[in-house]
Amino acid sequence: MFETLPHPKPDAILAQMAPFKVDTRPDKMNLGVGVYMNDKGETIILDSVKEAERRLLEQETTKTYVGLAGDVAYNEAMKEIVFGDAAPAGRVYGLQAPGGSGSLRVLAELMARMRPNAKVWVSTPTWPNHYALLKTGNIEIAEYPYFDPETCSVDFDAMTAKLRTLGSDDVVILHGCCHNPTGANLSPAQWDEVAEIAVETGFLPFFDIAYQGFGDGLEEDAYGVRKFASTVKEMLVAVSCSKNFGIYRDRVGCAFVMGGTEETATLANENIQNIARGMYSMPPDHGASVVRIIWQDPELRQQWMDELKTMCTRMTSLRNLLAESFRKQGGGDRFDFVAVHRGMFSLLGLTPEQVDKLRQDHAIYMIGDSRVNIAGMQEQNIDRFVAAVLEVTQG
């Protein structure tokens, strides 16, 4: 029977890992894969995570199921991290889920239950896996304008013009911070305006926040979610701990529902638990316990926040060095946006041919849409990278 199966389209991000591996050129650069790397190109385990794992191993007394919502104390910790003081009392519930992806999927199913004919709006462009994770039932996926490839920044006028036309059957996916793949983000004043539009039009905001702390800081990066939490009646928030705790393979995330009243929030909470039961029953425990242990211990929490800051500062300083190098090597101000972008990624605005040329002639690997992982660079190869980009764009 298997012969009737179609060949799925290869994942663009995962597909380019294989040719990189077999490339024997010693100065090859992998800017494609979406994980944080330190200045030696390694994705190490944070010290705070190692210590929490040690404690977990020592203290754990049972492996019995954690319950449908997962670890309730973990969900509380995540609520504090993401919402701060902005969560309206009794109206926000969290569900521990397998990664940001699992959270997105659970909330997509909830959306399909509430509004079987909803239209979900994603930014142009967005993280490609959004299409697969959000597509369920009759849900239609549409795109709102977001990135202006001319300026490599947000086309806010076009974005808000589209959002103003939406209504209560529309759901809008908003990247909480560090937009993937573009790196271009909304300012606090722009978040305020989008929140007002949500109130006026009644569209349902659905946040995806996967890089909190990778942009301007843990608090700063939560501005959008918190502004909405204190402005709109209802919203959905999918959170990933993969990047900011560096625990990618442990699959740690949280799906939040915020209801207009305590009653409707409870109802939504019952439903996400019921949805999770039908998908994977219970979430994996290890990574979520690590996050809980870190957050609950003041010293470990501080250590984690320092480690997060180190990752964040490294990316910001690489961005500044890149922009400087572009100017120094004759790129003018065209690439200044790299220093303004935030998070792990920037979309450089190159053509697929230019991206191919970078791979063939310079052993520089990025995603076909010209998304680069800033953390994949090292100070000592910035000038080489910039020279290569200028050669393919100007040559």
Residues with active-site annotation: 127, 208, 210, 243
Q: Give the position of tokens 């010693």.
A: 26
- Beta-carbon count within 10 A of 273 CB: 16
Nearer to ligand PMP, 253 or 259 (CB): 253
Greatest alpha-carbon span in the chain: 64
Site string for ligand PMP, 342-361 (x = CB under 6 A): --------------------
Residue from 210, 218, 347, 358 that binds ligand PMP (CB under 6 A)?
210
101 binds ligand PMP (CB under 6 A): yes
Nearer to ligand PMP, 101 or 303 (CB): 101
- Beta-carbon count within 10 A of 167 CB: 9
Residue from 180, 182, 289, 316 that binds ligand PMP (CB under 6 A)?
180
Residue from 74, 83, 93, 127 that binds ligand PMP (CB under 6 A)?
127
DSSP letter at 249 equals G
- Beta-carbon count within 10 A of 96 CB: 31
208 binds ligand PMP (CB under 6 A): yes
C-alpha distances in angstroms, 287 versus 101, 252, 319?
15, 6, 30
240 binds ligand PMP (CB under 6 A): yes
Q: How far is the CB of 125 from ligand PMP (least distance, A)?
A: 11
Q: Are strands 253-258 and 235-240 parallel, antiparallel or unpaired?
A: antiparallel
325 binds ligand PMP (CB under 6 A): no
Q: Give the position of tokens 């659905």.
A: 206
> Which amino acid, 66?
V
100 binds ligand PMP (CB under 6 A): yes
Q: How far is the CB of 142 from ligand PMP (least distance, A)?
A: 18
d(CA 243, CA 253): 11
What is the size of the binding site for ligand PMP (CB under 6 A)? Answer: 13
Query: Of the listed pieces 73-81, 94-102, 152-160, 352-360, which binds ligand PMP according to CB under 6 A?
Result: 94-102
176 binds ligand PMP (CB under 6 A): no
d(CA 121, CA 321): 35
As given in the structure block, the two tokens for residue 35 are 């994980």
Residue from 32, 34, 183, 331 that binds ligand PMP (CB under 6 A)?
34
d(CA 331, CA 346): 17
284 binds ligand PMP (CB under 6 A): no
- The sign of the dihedral angle between the CA atoms of 370, 376, 378, 384 is negative
Q: Give the position of tokens 């090859």.
A: 28
The torsion region of residue 202 among left (phi > 0), alpha (psi -120 to 50) and beta comes to left
Residue from 32, 99, 215, 259 that binds ligand PMP (CB under 6 A)?
99
Q: How far is the CB of 99 from ligand PMP (least distance, A)?
A: 3
Q: How far is the CB of 298 from ligand PMP (least distance, A)?
A: 26
Contacts with ligand PMP, residue ranges (CB under 6 A)? 34, 99-101, 127, 175, 180, 208, 210, 240, 242, 248, 253
